[in-house]
Amino acid sequence: MVMPDFKKLLEEVLKKANLEDEELKRLIEDKKQKVGSGYLTDQGALFLVASDLGIDLEPIETSLSLKDIYVGADEVSLPARILSINDVKVFQRSYGGEGKYRRVMLFDKDSIVPLNLWDDKVDLIESLGLRKGSAVMVSKAYVRADLNGKPVLNLGKRGNLEPLSEEKAGSLPKIEDIAKDVSEISEAKRYLVLRGIVSSKPHLSRFTRKDGFEGSFIEFHFKSIKSDKEIRVIIWNPKNEEEFLNLESDSEILMVNLRSKESSYGVLEIHGDDKTWFEILGKYEDKRNLRIFKVLSKGIIREGKTGLSLSFLVRDPENYHNLIVKDKALDLAKNIKEGDCIKCKIYELRDAYICYDYLERIEETDELKNLDASKLIRKIKSLNVGEDKVFAEVIALSKSRVEEFTAKDGSTFRKAELVVGDDTGESKLIGWRDLADLILNINPGERLFLKGVAVREGKDKSIFLQLTSYSNVEKR
């Protein structure tokens, strides 16, 4: 399985440099001797000779890729990129003496395959200045099976590894190009490269192994960029403990050398080891759902079937919205005031937005500067049934009256109401359940500014005002 490119490249240099065949071969041998024995193949030396002659060879094209290799193949030459580089290992040969090997993971657009460097070849990484992501040409490798019968490339005395410039790398993808999203992992698989969001603070645990030595693992959750899918990650005996532990929630990272497997509970997990490494790509902001608003009204924290929540009536340049805040974002929202501008990551519901984890106060922007509730202010006489974002300046005309009711399940709830009015008419103001608290302890004659109330119609066709989840009642 020798690459067919060398002969074509040779002919190209002979033609462009106007050299005799023997003279070019001599230059190739001289280059190999000058660089050092064992570091260049004829083809690698040809590229350097061509460069000396001012000839720019075309990027290498070959029909052979990592997916084509098979156990038992010899003389394999192909281009690839380095995914990861392991430390050098020393072992005792069965016939005496020491040997060395080093594993390098290679990838191309189709596959990820291990390459074992043996003995003197282990030093090629440093001597050639190779690193993760470097494009290389593997020459005269042989293929053997691993313990699972899968093919592994090996580089012995006759083989070699040469760097390729980005120009010569042709269509080889980069590491970020082969990364998968968490949502794409649905079965057990090895040699994974994943891109996603750290969604929980990494935690370190230590334990004693069966052999008496101490082991450790770091655990955190990893979230999809494309969906709401989240998966547990366990890194066993990591070399870079501190780097993992310093990862912050919402960091977007690229993580390499992983495998997916089912847990004992039948749930898919991601596992790594001391060869797993990551790169921080930045703080993740889902720009598809990242929005800015001005807060017009702030409701009260309420407890429902899915936990605590807080609702705001907010405005952006296009419209008014009900923003429901829960979970981590609820703590962040407690200090937000009416009139503040906020930025948050939202998910769209049928008639509201909901924010779970990212919310912050921001400086007023030009697009939010002149937004307010002025268009929502109504006089009682102009109220229309169905409006649900009404603001009104009124005066209390009665004390609050509270009634208690019993539901079918035996639980109790309250209804509070009082009469309010302005210079155009009067109306009842009603609050159910915990919203009743907003209109308790109000005395006749107190001026009130109602924010975010709805207009409803009673059984007698009369119109009344009803408090909503984002309503507020301000005494003036």
Residues 179-283, CATH architecture: Beta Barrel (2.40)
Assess whether the region 179-283 and the region 374-475 belong to the same CATH fold.
yes
Contact between 101 and 91 (Cβ < 8 Å) = yes
Between CA 393 and CA 133 the distance in angstroms is 66
Residues 67-164, CATH architecture: Beta Barrel (2.40)
Q: Which residues contact 327 (CB under 8 A, 6 or more apart)?
A: 307, 356, 357
> Which is the CATH superfamily of the domain at 374-475?
Nucleic acid-binding proteins (2.40.50.140)
Neighbouring-strand partners of residue 294: 315, 341
Sort strands 230-236 and 268-272 into parallel, antiparallel or unpaired: parallel
User: What is the chain's pLDDT, residue by residue, as a tens digit (476 residues)?
Assistant: 334 456 777 888 888 888 888 888 888 888 778 765 554 567 767 877 887 888 876 544 455 788 888 888 888 888 999 999 999 999 888 888 888 999 999 999 888 999 999 999 999 999 999 999 999 999 989 989 888 888 899 998 888 999 988 887 877 889 999 999 888 888 998 899 999 999 889 999 999 988 888 999 999 999 988 777 889 999 999 988 999 999 998 899 999 999 999 888 888 999 999 999 999 999 887 655 788 999 999 999 998 777 889 999 999 988 999 999 988 888 889 899 999 999 998 877 778 888 887 899 999 989 898 888 888 899 999 999 999 999 999 999 888 999 998 877 788 889 999 999 999 989 999 999 999 999 998 988 999 999 999 999 888 888 999 999 999 999 98
- pLDDT given at position 436: 93
- pLDDT given at position 5: 56
Sort strands 268-272 and 135-145 into parallel, antiparallel or unpaired: unpaired
For residue 84, how many C-alpha atoms fall within 13 Å in the half-sphere facing its CB? Answer: 22
What CA–CA distances, in Å, run from 204 to 197, 207, 211, 235, 241?
19, 10, 21, 9, 8
Domain ranges of the chain: 5-52, 67-164, 179-283, 290-362, 374-475
The model scores a pTM over 0.75: no
Residue listed under structure tokens 């899915």? 306
Between CA 325 and CA 289 the distance in angstroms is 14
Give the torsion sign (CA, 60, 66, 69, 75). positive
- pLDDT given at position 58: 56
Q: Which residues contact 114 (CB under 8 A, 6 or more apart)?
A: 103, 104, 105, 106, 146, 152, 153
User: In the chain, what is the straight-line distance between the N-terminal and C-terminal CA atoms, in Å?
Assistant: 87
Token representation of residue 289? 């759902």
Contact between 48 and 33 (Cβ < 8 Å) = no
Phi first, then psi, for residue 45 (nearest 5°) are -65, -35
DSSP 87: P
Between CA 301 and CA 472 the distance in angstroms is 12
Q: Work out the angle between the directed axes of helices 42-52 and 21-35 (0-180°, nearest 10).
A: 100
What CATH number should be reported for the domain whose range is 290-362?
2.40.50.140
- pLDDT given at position 4: 41
- pLDDT given at position 165: 85
